[in-house]
């Protein structure tokens, strides 16, 4: 029983932390809001200046879209859906970006309809496992489980091992994620430099 109480205390601290985060804006949410405002401002400037075909405009649009997508992917239970950037140009990249945005939004909405709280698969799996374990502990601690004590202990043991394995996987995946983010950042910089060269050469 002491072990169950410890589990409940740990899960309660987790719930308190999640609720605390729910009442304040996370850094990712601040980043997402900033990107949304940048996109809106860029759209207004485009409407007034008619620069939808300029190379630097293209670089800005792509950067905002990529980082907006990363912000959504790394968030747990984001308050707002991924915002679309309005593109009014007639270049082939404009139509490609519109289709890509629509495809990404549809995938995110499908995950939400299935009850997912996270876009990133690894975060979603961890969230599901924690919620499942939380429900199991509550069921046992409140005497609602019809299983024998030995089976209950086995279920808790299996659940804790599953969480430990997920934690190890997430921990091992962080360096790879950092590497992918670094590569994304470098590719965006290279693209921006290439677009700037095009702008200066035109």
Is residue 118 a contact partner of residue 76, using CB atoms and an 8 Å limit? yes
Residue 85 tokens read as 């950037």
pLDDT number for residue 25: 53
Q: What is the pLDDT of residues 90-140, one digit of tens each?
A: 667 778 888 888 888 888 888 888 877 777 888 888 888 888 888 888 887
Residue 18 has pLDDT above 60, yes or no: no
Helical segments of the chain, H only? 2-22, 27-49, 55-73, 92-113, 121-141, 149-201
pLDDT number for residue 21: 47
pLDDT number for residue 26: 64
- Rounded to whole angstroms, the Cα distance separating 106 from 190 reads 29
Q: Tokens 């086995």: give the residue.
A: 154
14: confidence class by pLDDT, cuts 50, 70, 90: low
Q: How far is CA 157 from CA 140, 152, 154, in A?
A: 13, 9, 5
Residue 165 tokens read as 């394995």
Closest by Cα among 31, 24, 18 to 118:
18
Average pLDDT over all residues of the chain: 74
Q: Tokens 């519109």: give the residue.
A: 98
Mean pLDDT of 76-99: 72
Is residue 35 a contact partner of residue 64, using CB atoms and an 8 Å limit? yes
- Rounded to whole angstroms, the Cα distance separating 86 from 40 reads 8
Stronger pLDDT, 83 or 131, i.e. the higher one: 131
Residue 69 has pLDDT above 70, yes or no: yes
pLDDT number for residue 101: 84
Mean pLDDT of 164-184: 87
- Rounded to whole angstroms, the Cα distance separating 108 from 1 reads 41
The residue ranges of every structural domain in the chain are: 2-201
């Amino acid at each position: 029983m002491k072990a169950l109480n410890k589990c409940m205390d740990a899960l309660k601290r987790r719930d308190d932390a999640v609720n605390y985060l729910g009442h304040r804006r996370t850094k990712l949410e601040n980043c997402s809001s900033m990107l949304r405002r940048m996109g809106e401002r860029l759209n207004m400037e485009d409407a007034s200046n008619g620069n939808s075909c300029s190379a630097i405009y293209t670089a800005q649009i792509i950067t905002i879209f990529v980082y907006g997508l990363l912000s959504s992917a790394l968030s747990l239970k984001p308050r707002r859906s991924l915002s679309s950037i309005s593109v009014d140009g007639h270049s082939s990249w404009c139509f490609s970006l519109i289709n890509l945005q629509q495809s990404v939004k549809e995938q995110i909405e499908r995950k939400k309809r299935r009850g997912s709280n996270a876009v990133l698969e690894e975060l979603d799996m961890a969230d599901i496992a924690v919620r499942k374990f939380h429900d199991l502990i509550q069921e046992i601690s409140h005497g609602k489980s019809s299983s024998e004590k030995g089976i209950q202990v086995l279920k808790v043991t299996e659940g804790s091992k599953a969480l430990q394995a997920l934690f190890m996987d997430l921990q091992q995946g962080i360096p790879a994620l950092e590497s992918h983010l670094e590569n994304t950042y470098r590719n965006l910089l290279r693209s921006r430099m290439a677009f700037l060269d095009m702008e200066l050469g035109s």
